[in-house]
Structure 1
Amino acid sequence: MNPVSAPKEERESVSALLKLLKHGALEQSEPAAYKLVSPSGEVTELPASVLLLLGRVIEVLARGDALTVVPVGKELTTQQAANLLNVSRQYFVRLLDDGRLPFRKTGTHRRVRIEDVLAYARQRDRDRMASLDDLAQLSQDYGGYQEIPTED
């Protein structure tokens, strides 16, 4: 589960590939047929599902972001899940013990489904944004911050 990103020297060609895909497949109601050619010359047509996933991967790489592809249903260790959420393992275990995320035990080890971890992360982010919106509204309601005078 190591993230992959396009090195700077490859970003231009990744962006060109994204334009090619968008032009031919991702924006048309009838996608064009794309084919993969092996070094030996064997040609295989890419199924629509593979093309859609490839398009999403290329979009992320073209932005310069890293990504990790994880199969749905994959179970994570508490350390892997904590890393994904960018929290300590101890904090993550406390979330599990408090019932904030479902898990199962294999012997003495806890396992969590990636979908549950990602759903928790989405909800956490929505809650954070709502709190920030409330804080910004309070600031506006009470006059906000004073303007800093500028010298002309």
Structure 2
Amino acid sequence: MLSTQAAADILNVSRQYLVRLVDTGEIAGEKVGSHRRLRAADVAAFKAVRDAKRTSALDRLSSLSEDAGGYELEIKRR
């Protein structure tokens, strides 16, 4: 079990943002007294899905930029 700060450090996000994710149900967590605890496996699974979505979006963006000629060098002569 991880504290919200430890889980936020693993995900490289703020603790407040992580608490919001737990409160909205985007990542599983449970309350122990007044503290929230997250399973390390749940944090790792969330990170894997988030990273896969991010990679996919970047691939699409690169593809669109290539299609638009965004990577071609144009040499201007004077």
Q: TM-score, normalised by structure 1?
A: 0.47
Give the number of the structure with larger relative contact order, counting CA–CA contacts within 8 Å between residues 6 or more apart: 2
Task: Report the secondary structure of 2:50's partner residue.
Answer: helix
Tell me how large the CA RMSD over aligned residues is: 1.5
Give the total of aligned pairs: 76
Cα displacement (A) at 1:145: 3.1
Match 1:116 to one of 18, 38, 42: 42
Match 1:87 to one of 7, 13, 17: 13
Taking the aligned partners of 1:145 and 1:104, their CA distance within structure 2 comes to 47
Instruction: Look up the equivalent residue of 1:84 and give its one-letter code.
Output: I
Taking the aligned partners of 2:74 and 2:14, their CA distance within structure 1 comes to 39
TM-superposition CA deviations, 1:82-130 (whole Å, max 9, x none): 0111111001111111211111111111110000001111111101100
Give the percent of matched residue pairs that are identical in Structure 1 and Structure 2: 51
Task: Report the secondary structure of 1:111's partner residue.
Answer: strand
- The aligned residue for residue 105 of structure 1 is 31
- The aligned residue for residue 73 of structure 2 is 147
| Structure 1: runs of 5 or more not aligned | 1-74
Instruction: Look up the equivalent residue of 2:15 and give its one-letter code.
Output: R
Q: TM-score, normalised by structure 2?
A: 0.88
Which one has a bigger Cα radius of gyration? 1
Taking the aligned partners of 2:36 and 2:10, their CA distance within structure 1 comes to 16
Which structure's residues are more often helix, by fraction? 2
| Structure 2: runs of 5 or more not aligned | none
Alignment of 1:9-20 (within 5 A): none
